[in-house]
Structure 1
Amino acid sequence: MSPREIEEMLQREGSQVSPDKYDETTETVGATQRRTELLIPVLAACREVWTSGSEEIELMVEKLGDGSRDVAWRVPFGDSGILEFFLRVLARDGLKQGLQIHALRLVGNSCADTDVNRARVMQGNHLATIINHLQDKSLIPFTIPVLFNILVDYEPAQLAASEANLNQRLIALLSSPNLANFVVFIPYFCKILILLTSQEGETSRASPNTVEVALRLATSMPSRDDLDDFISLVTVAAAYLSDENFQTALIQGPLLQLFLSTFYHAHTHFNMVQVDDADTVAALTKLYAALLNTLADVTGNDLFVSCHPLQSQVAQTFLAWLQSSNPQLQTAGCLALGNLSRSDEVSMALVQIHFAHTPLMRLLSNPEIVDAQLLHSAMSFLKNLAIPVQNKPLLGSLLDVGCIPRLLSLDTSPQVQFTAVSLTRLLVVNCPPNVARICAPLSADPASSARERSSVHAIIALHERSDAEPTRLEAARAIAAICRVLHSNPIATLLPDWEPPVVEIDADSPESGPMDADNQRLGYFYSKHDVGRVLSFLISQQKWPSLRSEAWFIFALMCRSKEGSRVIITVLQMLGIITELIKAVTGRDALPSEIGSSGDSIEGASSSASPDGQITSMAEGLGLEPQQADPKQRESMIRVDRENALVMCTELLRAWGHQLPGLRLSILQDVVKEGTEIVAAQKAASS
């Protein structure tokens, strides 16, 4: 058959529609087989012309290459043997360029979306033949699309290409001084490289220059101004930077500043709002996420701090990003510096020398900033800064009502709420000045209703309305931390802004003496802040025994004061708390007969029973004091919990024994008696 006859047959017997309109289901039965049979004489003619050495073979393959654009001929080309024939032709040396071009076209079109033909390429080990054609740079516009058509959506070919070190071939070409001749194909280079990264072992086989080449091209003309090329190249770099070895090389080598420059360019040079194409917007959004993940991995590497201390140019870049008005740079700065601030030394330097918290305070106090990711990143970074005791007072302004407390009401951003209450807890832990801040009235005006409210109300309200257990838990821990400070330091320094108390007789006090100013101030605070239900959550939750242990310790502290013990009495009235108390002291589950009505109240109660002074004296004789348990030592924690609960019960009996309902009094007495015997026996055994 002549080239013209081949052309006419392919047009006549083809689908006669464009590839995007071809529908295989509309074909008649046996259409593929019929086309395959029509190609048998074509293959014979090609073999004859090839064997004779006639140059007509080039024109024949050109017509076949044109015909291969018709989807209907793809499978028949493979079934008839034409694809295999020209794959073998491509393996020969000394071919004319035209013959190579049209043979590549035939192969590329035949393999597009056609796995059966891709499999033929693999079975005949022809992929290496096509890769070798990359040596001829003039063929790049044809070889690269052919490789892409074979590899896309076909993992066997991707793995074979990776094992054939295709990455190194492509990176060498992207580094070539002749790149300008095929620069328009950079997106296809990048798509192929991305496909290779999905294969196991690719990063170990890849050129070590992969990241550098991709980033340098991305930040050079013309790619730095071409959004599609920029996205393609940086996506390649990010994909290979998911590998630990590439990350280590980036950290230890000179390329980190190039990566940061690329990061900066990506977030400042392109305006997503002005991008009309939805696919491009999606690709840019995905790129931003990939860059942030890479930054997190790299700065989270243990090598990073030693290679780039706070005084380094890299760390100073992150500090500068905090001052930026660009939310994405601010987020990145918070994330990177948060990873750096994993030691007290670095955290203290960031606050006391570099004042990294100052721009974050402005950010969190700005009601116009509602970006959840930015708010979360800023507070996550501040959580690290709030860990060293020396930093806590310096960060106290974060507890001003217009800063962190305002974020507790953002019900539309649960993650922001959780981080806000978690940061609040860290700021008040063992920090009296910050507890004074958060307990201060919201208004100094005696006539204002806000005079009787504080930011503590916001924590309590969040606990009550949140459905998220971690958020409720952090709120309860924050309240517990506040109570611990209130009962470990002079009240006058913590609650100085409430109305000066009037010294009155405390009618409930068994001593019936004057109630001192500190107790009145503390009593006033607790009367305005219903902390009992929040504190009970720490005891009733079952997931974290160490937090329940912390609660028993704080309860024991609180019971050392009249007003604190009044709060704990209300806690014990709540469902399930008496059960947990009995279990903590005796080590056994409570029997139904041992549990009184949860509705018992000391208000207006009179008891026919009387407190057993001998039981109280026995417990006090053990010399127990509130103490913290080590959550890493389970047996020790059980012992300390028992002793703290005993201290609590003993103080409750001493202060409130005459006011407790009979059943509640009896339960506490039984608990103290049994617990005292257990502790005494343990002490005797240990001595």
Structure 2
Amino acid sequence: MEPPSGRTDVPGSMQSNDHQSDLNPGTVGSAHRVQCPPLSQVLSELASLPPASTLAATEPLPSDKQKKLFESLQICLKAAENADVSDALKETPDILQKLWKCRSPYLVPAAEAMANGSRAPLWRVSYGKTGVFDFFLQLIASKETIDNRVILHALRLVGNSCADTNENRETVVEHNYTAAIVQHSSNPDLIQVVIPVLYNICIDFGPAQTQLAADKIVYILLKLVKDGAFKDKDALLDYVFELIELVGEQEQGIASSPDGTISLLVELALDEDVASTPARFSGLVSGLATYLNNTRFQEICISSYIVPDILGVLSRSLTFKTESSAEDTQALAQSRLKINQILAEISGSTSFAQYYPLDSPLAQSLKTWLKSTDDQLQICSCVILGNLARSDATCERMVQDLKIHEELISILKSDVRGAVLHSALGFLKNLAIAGNNRLVLGEAGIIPAVSRLWQYESVPQVQFAATSIARQVIVAAVDNISRLLEGLPRDGTDSNDERTYLSLLLALFQKTDSTPIKTEIGRTVASICRTLVPQSREGDPTAVALLDRFFDLHEDIALPVGAMIAQSQWPVVRSEGWFAMALMASNKAGAMAVSRSLQRMEILPLLEKTLGAEASEPTEEIEQVQMKKDRDNISVLVQELLKSDPDTLAETDKSTMQQLMHSHVSRHLQDSKSTVNG
């Protein structure tokens, strides 16, 4: 917590398979404003392909010799079943080269037989060592037109040979064969093999994930899905979405992805036929969240008016059937959290209000979401509208024209979850910074509304935010100070002691262990003193009456101010405490309250230390100025306490202050005006 308050961003809210492969949403059309380059263009721009092929040039061979070559290959494969695999297969690369050299039709069954052999885990390393693996990689990377059946079996062999076999994966990555494999994704006859191959190369192997990311695989896969490449191939989609999750977090891939990647992610997440299961939907949302952590894609999202569609994605997350499994339920919950975090980040951008002003359809829709019965929609509304509340003019319009504060106060009074309360409080805090809004908020009942949350122990962030708003609305606002000092409704007990809303804050001060909450309560008390004490000196009857009530009904009113002085985390807060305590001491009833707090909060040692510090001790000029102010205020405090001589001032404390008066205070008072310096 940083006690000196200002407008802040409103907070949003408080697996893959491990087996190997054998709003009314905005119209989706809005995402089309971002250019999505065609697949052919992206594939043609892939990183440089592997080195030149070492495959032999064409040389005819009689068909009977071709047949004998194939039979020799079969013998080798048969022998490998019962002997040392590498030894049995050592002749196969030469046989394959000869079949290729004559462009033999036997290459198809030969490739199939070799691919079938790659199913055996023990053969995979041998394929790599003997050169079989390299041969088929070169076929895949060849620029020559090759029978689809040969390429299909070559892909099968590569995919199987990479399963749990890092030696072969390293070969693929070293020569960037991933790009060659990806090139075949545009072939509808091969797509059903390309995807599992890429999966087997990537799973649990970071270098391949990095390389594929650089090859723009996320965009390529999304574009394939969008273009219908997986129609009637539903089983492949699970691999596709898992690949997107595996590779999507690679920075290199995000940086190189086309602008249209973001619109594809949003559009597919909204497509009920594509993102038809919680798992697929959650995978797309994870990708969306990753890309929108990048500033470039955030700005694209804002300037291309994609934000309404992201709201649509949040709405879509609520449409899945409630009988989903526990795993799906958890995945959807995480997706909603990620979407709201995305929206919090985006709406916090300085350019957001330029494209989505307060009178935009987006803002109007969000205002209706404040009344939603769904937590996540309410949080979303509070987050985005709260981040639009960046200027006094906007905040005043929200309160005085749109009456948004009334919906927010209704939320505070309702039985919603802590995350919703936290977001609503963050929004209200921004609205309360505009001075002209404070009285309107007070009239709307904000103090009783937040007072019930001062006991919200299960979520300390809510407790703190509710305490902070109380301080915010009473700054220089006598009417709201009066409301804070109003008596609480009687609870039916026989007690004759009158308790106020401020009494509840003081009770929280005594109960909580939270230094930020204690400090915020102290700052509330200090703010009341800053407003009422000067006005009461001028004889203002309202201020005089309120100040009497302030001291008479709250015996321990000085303790929170003492806590401001006792804490060491924020020097500026300590200085604010000295100032407030000096103001208190200038009032007779206040002097009694201050003297009671001196021993309980161990203030005197701090007072002596501050007065006794040499002027040269602080190293920064700003520290020297602040230290001088502190000494001035302490000098006034000591002078006022000795002058008032309250009965509650212990003799030992009085003696100490008299000594300080002679040794330090007189000197400081001669050097400074003897007035409180705030």
TM (norm. structure 2) is 0.80
Amino-acid identity (%) = 29
Residue 633 of structure 2: aligned partner: 644
Structure 2 gaps, min length 5: 1-69
Which runs of structure 2 are paired with 1:226-305 in the superposition (5 Å)? 226-266=277-317, 268-271=318-321, 273-276=322-325, 278=327, 280-305=328-353
Residue 338 of structure 1: aligned partner: 386
Report the Cα offset of residue 210 of structure 1: 0.7
Report the Cα offset of residue 444 of structure 1: 5.2
- The one of the two structures with greater contact order (alpha-carbon pairs below 8 A, sep at least 6) is 2
Return the letter of the residue paired with 2:509: H
Report the Cα offset of residue 657 of structure 1: 6.8
CA-to-aligned-CA distance 1:339-393 (integer Å, 9 cap, x gap)? 1112222222111111112222122112x32x22111111111111111221122
Larger displacement relative to structure 2 (40-49 or 537-546): 40-49
Residue 148 of structure 1: aligned partner: 199
Residue 141 of structure 2: aligned partner: 91
Pair 1:284–1:647, CA change in 2 (3 A) = same
Structure 1 gaps, min length 5: 14-30, 496-515, 590-630
2:406–2:444 Cα contact (<8 Å) kept: no
Report the Cα offset of residue 182 of structure 1: 4.8
Report the Cα offset of residue 549 of structure 1: 1.1
Report the Cα offset of residue 583 of structure 1: 3.2
1:399–1:438 Cα contact (<8 Å) kept: no
Q: State whether structure 2 residue 548 is matched by structure 1 residue 544.
A: no
Residue 113 of structure 2: aligned partner: 63
Which runs of structure 2 are paired with 1:151-170 in the superposition (5 Å)? 151-170=202-221
In structure 2, what is the Cα distance between the partners aligned to 1:78 and 1:475? 71
In structure 2, what is the Cα distance between the partners aligned to 1:36 and 1:344? 77
In structure 1, what is the Cα distance between the partners aligned to 2:623 and 2:195? 63
SS of equivalent to 1:403 = helix
Return the letter of the residue paired with 2:457: D
Residue 471 of structure 2: aligned partner: 425
CA-to-aligned-CA distance 1:132-165 (integer Å, 9 cap, x gap)? 2123232111112212221233222233233334
Q: State whether structure 2 residue 262 is matched by structure 1 residue 216.
A: no
In structure 1, what is the Cα distance between the partners aligned to 2:491 and 2:442? 22
In structure 2, what is the Cα distance between the partners aligned to 1:519 and 1:59? 98
In structure 2, what is the Cα distance between the partners aligned to 1:319 and 1:659? 54
Which of 547, 557, 562 is the aligned partner of 2:583?
557
SS of equivalent to 1:275 = coil
Pair 1:402–1:647, CA change in 2 (3 A) = closer
Q: State whether structure 2 residue 455 is matched by structure 1 residue 466.
A: no
Larger displacement relative to structure 2 (545-554 or 670-679): 670-679
In structure 1, what is the Cα distance between the partners aligned to 2:275 and 2:430? 36
Return the letter of the residue paired with 1:207: P
Larger displacement relative to structure 2 (126-135 or 193-202): 193-202
Return the letter of the residue paired with 2:606: E
Q: State whether structure 2 residue 168 is matched by structure 1 residue 108.
A: no
Report the Cα offset of residue 661 of structure 1: 4.8
In structure 2, what is the Cα distance between the partners aligned to 1:258 and 1:91? 40
SS of equivalent to 2:433 = coil
Report the Cα offset of residue 402 of structure 1: 5.8
For these two proteins, the number of residue pairs brought into alignment is 596
In structure 2, what is the Cα distance between the partners aligned to 1:312 and 1:105? 53
Which runs of structure 2 are paired with 1:46-85 in the superposition (5 Å)? 46-85=96-135
Q: State whether structure 2 residue 408 is matched by structure 1 residue 357.
A: no
In structure 2, what is the Cα distance between the partners aligned to 1:658 and 1:439? 26
CA RMSD of aligned residues (A): 3.1
Report the Cα offset of residue 284 of structure 1: 2.3
Q: State whether structure 2 residue 659 is matched by structure 1 residue 670.
A: yes
1:318–1:333 Cα contact (<8 Å) kept: yes
Pair 1:356–1:6, CA change in 2 (3 A) = farther
CA-to-aligned-CA distance 1:443-475 (integer Å, 9 cap, x gap)? 258975386222323322322232232222223
Report the Cα offset of residue 192 of structure 1: 3.1
Which of 602, 607, 612 is the aligned partner of 1:581?
607
Report the Cα offset of residue 547 of structure 1: 0.9
Q: State whether structure 2 residue 435 is matched by structure 1 residue 435.
A: no
2:506–2:557 Cα contact (<8 Å) kept: yes
Q: State whether structure 2 residue 354 is matched by structure 1 residue 306.
A: yes
Residue 35 of structure 1: aligned partner: 85
1:399–1:434 Cα contact (<8 Å) kept: no
Which runs of structure 2 are paired with 1:198-217 in the superposition (5 Å)? 198-217=249-268
Residue 524 of structure 1: aligned partner: 552
1:6–1:64 Cα contact (<8 Å) kept: no
In structure 2, what is the Cα distance between the partners aligned to 1:647 and 1:340? 44
SS of equivalent to 1:270 = coil
Larger displacement relative to structure 2 (672-681 or 580-589): 580-589
Report the Cα offset of residue 331 of structure 1: 0.6
In structure 2, what is the Cα distance between the partners aligned to 1:254 and 1:517? 55
CA-to-aligned-CA distance 1:452-506 (integer Å, 9 cap, x gap)? 22232332232223223222222322333344444345699879xxxxxxxxxxx
Pair 1:520–1:324, CA change in 2 (3 A) = closer
Pair 1:241–1:538, CA change in 2 (3 A) = same
Report the Cα offset of residue 523 of structure 1: 4.5
In structure 1, what is the Cα distance between the partners aligned to 2:456 and 2:647? 45
1:386–1:395 Cα contact (<8 Å) kept: yes
In structure 2, what is the Cα distance between the partners aligned to 1:663 and 1:176? 86
Pair 1:187–1:238, CA change in 2 (3 A) = farther
In structure 2, what is the Cα distance between the partners aligned to 1:313 and 1:230? 26
SS of equivalent to 2:456 = coil
1:128–1:164 Cα contact (<8 Å) kept: yes
SS of equivalent to 2:462 = helix
Report the Cα offset of residue 311 of structure 1: 0.7
In structure 2, what is the Cα distance between the partners aligned to 1:518 and 1:252? 52
Return the letter of the residue paired with 1:269: T
2:395–2:434 Cα contact (<8 Å) kept: yes
Return the letter of the residue paired with 1:677: R
Which of 352, 363, 372 is the aligned partner of 1:315?
363
2:115–2:154 Cα contact (<8 Å) kept: yes
Report the Cα offset of residue 667 of structure 1: 2.4
Residue 437 of structure 2: aligned partner: 391
Which runs of structure 2 are paired with 1:602-681 in the superposition (5 Å)? 633-656=622-645, 660-673=649-662, 674-681=664-671
Pair 1:247–1:519, CA change in 2 (3 A) = closer
Which runs of structure 2 are paired with 1:450-461 in the superposition (5 Å)? 452-461=498-507
Pair 1:410–1:558, CA change in 2 (3 A) = same
Pair 1:549–1:436, CA change in 2 (3 A) = same
In structure 2, what is the Cα distance between the partners aligned to 1:477 and 1:269? 46
1:398–1:404 Cα contact (<8 Å) kept: no
In structure 1, what is the Cα distance between the partners aligned to 2:342 and 2:175? 39
In structure 2, what is the Cα distance between the partners aligned to 1:36 and 1:398? 83
Which of 395, 406, 425 is the aligned partner of 1:347?
395
Report the Cα offset of residue 99 of structure 1: 1.3
SS of equivalent to 2:357 = coil
In structure 2, what is the Cα distance between the partners aligned to 1:517 and 1:230? 62
Pair 1:426–1:184, CA change in 2 (3 A) = same
TM (norm. structure 1) is 0.79
